[in-house]
Structure 1
C-alpha cells in the first residue's frame, strides 16, 4: 500500500514557541511540557523539561492553522507511533472558533446554519459571531461578571448558544452548558453547585427559574434571548413577575444589550489571554448514580478532542473538494454535542447545522440530513436504532462522507444497515465526560471489528489495567484507563476533591468501564464496573447479550441486568421492548432464550425475561440499569 497523507493528525502551531506533551511512540511515553501544562499532577516530576514560553496577548495571538502540516502514514500503527501533541502555552477556545476565521479573511463563511421549527433557514457567519459575542462580552463586563466566574448556558442548538459560549470563553469566564429539558431540581443543583453568577437562556426556561431565584444566592443576572411575539404568548402572572425582574435589572434581554452597543462599539472588546490549562468549561456528568459531578475542563480540551474527531470521522476534514456540513441530534449541552461536533467544527471553519427536534423523529432526522446535504455526523446509537427500525426512513439520497457513533456498542446488524444506507461504515468511538474520545475506529485506514470500540486514538495512552494500575494481558477483563498527562483529561470535579482523587490510580484515570484488549490492540467494552453480572463464577457483561437480543426479529431494544439468585449468585434478566408487530407470550420468551443460547452462550442467556413498554434511559440515551434493578426489586415484593 502506498503511503497516504493524513491531514491534521499532527496539530502544530506556526510562528510561536510551544511545548510537546505526551510524545508517544509504540513502546513508551515521554513528556516535554511547560509547567502550566503539567496537569492533574501536584507533585514535581524531574522528567519534565521546563520551557520558557512567550506570553501572548490578543494583539500578538498567533492562531493555529490545522491545514499547515501533515502526518505521513500508511496505516493506523504508523500514525499512532508518529503522533505528537503540540500544546501552546496560551490557547483560547473562543478565539480559535471565532476570531481566527475573521483574522484569516474567512469571516463571511457560514459558521452555523440554523433551521427553525418552521423550516426557515438562517445562515450565521463567523464575522457575525465575532460582533455579537463581542457585544455580549462587553455587557458581561459591565455587569461585573469577571474572569473565572461561572455562567450557565441554558440554551438548545442555535445561534444564541454559539454567541454565548464564544463570549464567555473569550472573556476567560467558565461556561456551563445546561440541558433545556432539565427540570427545576436539576437546574437548581447545577447552578448552586457551580455558584453561577449569570445565566443565558430563553423565555421558556425562565419559567422554570422564577421559583428557584430565592435559593440561587449567587445568581445575579439572567440574560434572555427572546422576541416580542414570544412574550405575547405568556400568561399574565408570569409576565408581571418577568417584567418586575427586568425593572430590577435581574433580567436583561438580548435586544436591550444590542441597543446599548451601537455601531462599531463592539470593537472595544479585546479577548483575554488564557493559558491552555486555564479553566474553560464545566460539564456535568450524566451519571446513573448519585448527584451529577461537574467536570472542569481547560481550554486545551479542544486540542485534546481533535484527533478523536478526525479519526472516527474518516480523517475529517481532509477531503479538499467536500463542502462539509456537520450535524448531530445530540444536544450541545452534552460533551458529545459540544466537543464532538460544535467546537471542533467551528475550529476547522466547518459549517454546523443546528436544528432542535421537540421530540426525536427518525424520519425527520433522515430528511433533515438529506435536504441540507449533511456530510459528517455524530448519531447516538439510539438514534441509529430508531432509524433502522422505521421502514419509512429513506435508504438513499444522503451526502454522507462519515458517521461516528458512541455511547453504546452497535453490533454487526446496525453496522451492515449503516453501510447500506449511508454508503460508509459507521465508526464507533468511546469516551466519557472526564476524558472523551479516547478510543475509536476509522474505516478509512483500519479494519473495523463489529462490537469493538476500536483502538486508542493517536495521542492517548489507553489500556486495560487491574485495581493496582498494572496493565493486564490481552483478553483479560479489567478497567479501561487513560494515562496522564493528556490534554483531554479534566482538571478536576468542581468542589469535589475527594471524587477527583478517587478517579485516579497513580497516573491512570480509571473510566469506570470494564473491557478487554485483543491481540490486535482493539478494545472491547464489557460493562460498567458495577454492571458486571457474576453468575456461577462467570463474569458476564450485559452489552454482548443486548446485542444478541437486538438481532432477534421481535426485539426493538433491551436492557440486561444481574439479579440475585440463591443458587448461582446472580442470573441474567432481560427487560425487552418488543417491536409493534409482536405481543409478549410464553412461547416468545422461550424462543428468545433459545436464540441467545444458540447465538451467544448457554451460560449467558436470560433466565428471566420481562416485557416492558420502554426502558429507563438518561438524556444522552444510555440505559439506566439501576432503575431496572429497582424495577426488579419492586416486582419481588
Structure 2
C-alpha cells in the first residue's frame, strides 16, 4: 500500500491521537508522478485510478499504468513544444480526462501547472497570462473559450503556444491528438539541474480577492502529501473505492479531491465531466458508478435533496463531506434522514490543505468546521490581536512559530508585498472569522469582508441565512451588508424562491417578520431582493463579493426609516 511509504502509523483511536501522533515521512526530491503514479504502475498496474464519464455517453476507466504511460507520452509532447523546467503552463480543461495527462506530465518535467476555470473572459485571461508569464495554454475544444484565449494572447508577449485537446485546431493552435500516438510512452526522470526538488514550485492557483487583482498561490512538490489528511482522515476514502469531489479543475478544491490524497490512500477518483449541473444527472452517475465517498459544497447537497434521493441506488455511498460554505442544519438533518450518513464539515483555503475538520471519531457537530488538522496550530484573535474567549468571534489565524503546517503554501508567487502582509506578526492571517465553543470546536462565521457591522453589532451572514432557510419559500439565500446612513450597514438578503412561490412585497414583509420572530431583531434583513439565481463559482460556492460589488455599483443603500416598508424589492425581471 502506497500510504505505508509516507506514514509509520495509519490507524488512530481518537482525534487527540491523530492530532498528536500523525507524522509524514517526506522523501528527498519527492515527485508525485514518479513516486506515486509510477510506483502504482509497477506494483499494481491494474488498480483503478480515474473513472471518467461525461454527458455524451463517453466513458473511460484508466488504471495507474494507463495514466503513467499517457502522462509520459504527454511529457514528450510538451518537451517537443519547448516546455522546460520552470515554464508556466495554463490548463483550462474543465473536468476532461486530459487534465490528468497534462498535470502529471508537467510534474515530470518540472514545469509549473496553472489550472484555470473556463468561466474566464479575455480580460481575466490577459491579467493571468501577464502576471504569471504563461508560456503555453492548453484548453478543451470550445470555440467560444478559445476565442477569448486568442484575444488575450494578442496582448501577452509570453504566450508562445496554444494547444487544444480537440480534434480540430483553430488557426495558430496545435492539436494535441494529431501526433499524440507518435510520441514515446517513456520519459526518464530528469537528473542534475533538470531534476525537481521539494522546495521547487509545482503548481500555482489564482485566487480572487474582494478588493484587488487575483493572487497567485504557489505550492511546492511536497504539497500532495499534505492532502493525506484531507483524503484519508476527513473524506475517509475507501481503498479500492471511488471518490467524487464535484469541483471543476479550475478551482483548487479539485486538488483536494480529484488526485493527490485519494490516490495515495488507495481510492480511485470518479469524475463526471458535466457541462451543466443537473441534480438528477449527478445522482444517476453516482448510482451507476457506485461512488463510495462524496464531497461537495452545501449548495450541491441542497439541490440534490430538493430533487429527491429516493429513486437512486446510493447504497455504495459510505461517507460524505462538505466545505466551501457554512453547513446549514436543515441540509445536514435532511441528508441524514434520507441516507443515514452524517455529513462531516471541514475548512481550508487555496493557500492551505484541510485546516479544520470533523474527523469521524465522534458524532459531528453540524455547522461546525471541526477541530484543527494535524500540524495546524490555530487561534482566534480580536481586533487588538489578543486571543478571543470561548464563543467570541474573531479572526482565524495559524501560528507558524514552530514551523508551517505541512502542505501550507510558502507565499504568493511573484508578490513579496502580499506575502509579507498575510504573514504579518509572524502568523498566517486567514482573513476568515470564526469562534470556538467550550468543547474546542470551531465555527465559521465568514470572511472578514463578509461580516456586517450594524449599530455596533457584528452580524454573521450565515447566522441570518440559517434563519431565513427555515422559511418555506426560501430555496437559497445570500446575506450581505449595504450602506445605512444611521446604522453604518444594514442586512440585505438576496433570495431565490422555492417553486410555487412568487416574488412580491407581501412575501418580502412576511420573510422579514418571520426572521424577527425567531432571531434578534437587528439580524432581520431590511432589504430583500428576489432573484432567479445567486452568483456562484463552478463548484457551487456563493459569491457574496459579486453581490456586494453589484450593490456598490448601483449605489444600493438601506431605505430611510420612514420608507422602510418599501425595502422589499421585486424580482430582478420586474425591477
TM-score by length of 1: 0.81
Q: Does 1:284 align with 2:206?
A: yes
Q: 1:303 is matched with which residue: 225, 238, 261?
A: 225
Which string of whole-angstrom CA distances, capped at 9 and with x for unpartnered residues, describes residues 526-561 of structure 1? 121112112222111111111111121110111112
Q: 1:254 is matched with which residue: 152, 176, 179?
A: 176
Q: Does 1:401 align with 2:335?
A: no
Q: Does 1:510 align with 2:426?
A: no
Whole-angstrom distance in 2 between the partners of 1:428 and 1:635? 36
Q: 1:610 is matched with which residue: 529, 536, 539?
A: 529
Conservation of the 8 A alpha-carbon contact between 1:107 and 1:127: yes
How far residue 467 of structure 1 moved from its aligned partner, in angstroms, is 4.9
Whole-angstrom distance in 1 between the partners of 2:409 and 2:63? 31
- Structure 1 residues 621, 397: closer, same or farther in 2, change over 3 A? closer
Whole-angstrom distance in 1 between the partners of 2:267 and 2:419? 35
Task: Judge which range, 627-636 or 374-383, deviates more.
Answer: 627-636
- Structure 1 residues 73, 142: closer, same or farther in 2, change over 3 A? closer
How far residue 381 of structure 1 moved from its aligned partner, in angstroms, is 1.6
Partner of 1:355: 272
Whole-angstrom distance in 1 between the partners of 2:309 and 2:371? 35
Which string of whole-angstrom CA distances, capped at 9 and with x for unpartnered residues, describes residues 556-582 of structure 1? 111112223333332222121111211
Partner of 1:80: 19
Q: 2:253 is matched with which residue: 336, 356, 378?
A: 336
Partner of 1:571: 490
SS at match of 1:616: coil
How far residue 181 of structure 1 moved from its aligned partner, in angstroms, is 2.8
- Structure 1 residues 469, 301: closer, same or farther in 2, change over 3 A? farther
Partner of 1:529: 448
Which string of whole-angstrom CA distances, capped at 9 and with x for unpartnered residues, describes residues 396-439 of structure 1? 53411111111111121101122123321111111111113101
Q: Does 1:377 align with 2:294?
A: yes
How far residue 222 of structure 1 moved from its aligned partner, in angstroms, is 2.4
- Structure 1 residues 619, 259: closer, same or farther in 2, change over 3 A? closer
Which string of whole-angstrom CA distances, capped at 9 and with x for unpartnered residues, describes residues 209-252 of structure 1? 2233322211122232222xxx3xxxxxxx7xx35x2xxxxx43
Conservation of the 8 A alpha-carbon contact between 1:617 and 1:624: yes
Listed as ranges, the matches of 1:42-441 within 5 Å are 65=4, 69-71=8-10, 73-103=12-42, 105-204=43-142, 205-227=145-167, 231=168, 242-243=170-171, 245=172, 251-261=173-183, 265-271=184-190, 273-313=195-235, 315-317=236-238, 323-391=240-308, 394=311, 396-441=313-358
Whole-angstrom distance in 2 between the partners of 1:620 and 1:224? 24
Conservation of the 8 A alpha-carbon contact between 1:597 and 1:605: yes
Partner of 2:565: none
How far residue 512 of structure 1 moved from its aligned partner, in angstroms, is 0.6
Structure 2, unaligned runs of 5 or more? 558-575
Whole-angstrom distance in 1 between the partners of 2:78 and 2:289? 35
Whole-angstrom distance in 2 between the partners of 1:100 and 1:547? 47
Conservation of the 8 A alpha-carbon contact between 1:462 and 1:482: yes
How far residue 165 of structure 1 moved from its aligned partner, in angstroms, is 0.4
Partner of 1:457: 373
Number of residue equivalences: 548
SS at match of 1:266: coil
Using CA pairs below 8 Å that are at least 6 residues apart, which structure has the higher relative contact order? 1
Partner of 2:566: none
Q: Over aligned residues, Cα RMSD in angstroms? A: 2.4
How far residue 513 of structure 1 moved from its aligned partner, in angstroms, is 0.6
- Structure 1 residues 393, 492: closer, same or farther in 2, change over 3 A? farther
Partner of 1:497: 416
Conservation of the 8 A alpha-carbon contact between 1:468 and 1:505: no
- Structure 1 residues 570, 207: closer, same or farther in 2, change over 3 A? closer
TM-score by length of 2: 0.89
Partner of 1:25: none
Which string of whole-angstrom CA distances, capped at 9 and with x for unpartnered residues, describes residues 91-127 of structure 1? 1122244112013x21222211121322232111211
Conservation of the 8 A alpha-carbon contact between 2:225 and 2:260: no
- Structure 1 residues 568, 268: closer, same or farther in 2, change over 3 A? closer
Structure 1, unaligned runs of 5 or more? 1-7, 9-62, 232-238, 246-250
SS at match of 1:88: coil
Which string of whole-angstrom CA distances, capped at 9 and with x for unpartnered residues, describes residues 171-230 of structure 1? 111111111232222222222211111222223243332233322211122232222xxx
